[in-house]
Structure 1
């Protein structure tokens, strides 16, 4: 009987971010271990979130397509954004499930309904899955999207194996940092580094890659990060050096407390504002907050902390908007 592979998701050559078994952040910080996890979970500092939050304006009903110089982003919830640009409809880290967990009966539960009802989605062309944590890679939602829209799924190395096992007929492109896809007229998608990690269970830590994406379109460039630690701004500077500047950046602003445990993997709003400047983006949308309670901060803390950071940096708050579910942002040219 042949031995099981050391990595069940990916086999490939050693690189500056893959040691032959696990991926890693060059000169980065590994996530905390079991002792740190227990210390955090028993610190008694977890804020109480409401069990239910109502929509301010109700779910959105997006247009089928947006072209020309227009660029619209609609918040679904957490890290799920509908990006409409250049006639394409792109979903990031789609999650319509009620929980982000390996279990249907336990784990972080949605406190606000999706900002777009699943049946109201326009035709979905592309799905970007940034990494395999359950609040970003939701197989139940991907199965619904495959059945209804058959989109082209783009995801970092190893995550394609996870998705293919559940959806053998799905069209999936697996990408490494630095890879570029150009299947679409006048649109390219690059996979770029971010500082994070991956796991679906207890024994597969860092066995699938994580990534940010740059979408280059005739209407401008979009820099999207699902999750990241600030990492001294290294990856923000590299993105600006390689791609120039961005019309829009989609940046995570939530799941950051306590800092001693989260700092390496989740930036806080002040760091997101610093990254916004470093990557030379004209506008940004904040996501990864207010939908599932993953960490200790209060539900409104990311929005308040973002406002404070923007004020301290003397940046017009209209340039960096924390979108609520159902809220759409027509990005200025």
Structure 2
């Protein structure tokens, strides 16, 4: 028993690669109990979209004979655990959509750490490293957490138009994914204040309130993430809370007085595409894009990102992505935000 440990407190990740430091136990004959190495504060590995990251899992000597190590990912929305990789130390096999982007780090004979390249939004979540050795199976869990930004999203037809599956698709179309409840809660602690309820990936519905007010639950309720609980995924309709992380590319503004079609062509003529909402939020969050100019986006909305609030740029005290909503696509009044992978 206790052949498995994680050196999470020694794990660092970066946009270009990852670094994990292996430290031998000071007294290999009497290693500390497994739970002492699994303090919750060290079980979260941070990264960004597009990065390479390593989830540390190290076998403790002596390695048992005929063992296997199985990596799996817990999918809470589907209530299932999906196998990612299985190894017997000499060979390994990968499975599922992650298969082409994962491999064992294997920096030494006891290293069963999992490396994920080109991290995608859907890679975030809880992973389990399980040592399979007959009756002495044991496992540990790690959470891969992407740094990112949560934003509320609704259609041009108004609020509360998405069932759960439509909300999920709408976020994907805007280069993002449905946020988790944890991501929404973190966004609330960072100042997200939104009165419309929206789906999160767990299938529940919430809305974050900083300033208690009518009609957002009333002035007497304390600030917090208000909850409607689980709803019927097919029948009930709300907005969506989407989550986006860093993008491999650049969002930039082209000035002009264009309608939507002209704006789309302007980006294409510049060798780019018209930016999606998730890409604009990512540029605001990670590239600190700050412009006071309203510009068309791919979904037909007009928005602009503000890092430093100032007179004439929305009049709000906090940074954010301001919105003009969904004006007529024929109006020749706005510039455009383009996205280029160059």
Shorter-chain-normalised TM-score: which range?
Answer: under 0.3
Work out which of the two has the higher radius of gyration on C-alpha atoms and give 1 or 2. 2
**TM-score, normalised via structure 1 length:** 0.23
Higher strand share: 2
- Structure whose residues are more often helix by fraction: 1
Instruction: Choose between structure 1 and 2 for higher RCO, CA contacts under 8 A separated by at least 6 residues.
Output: 1
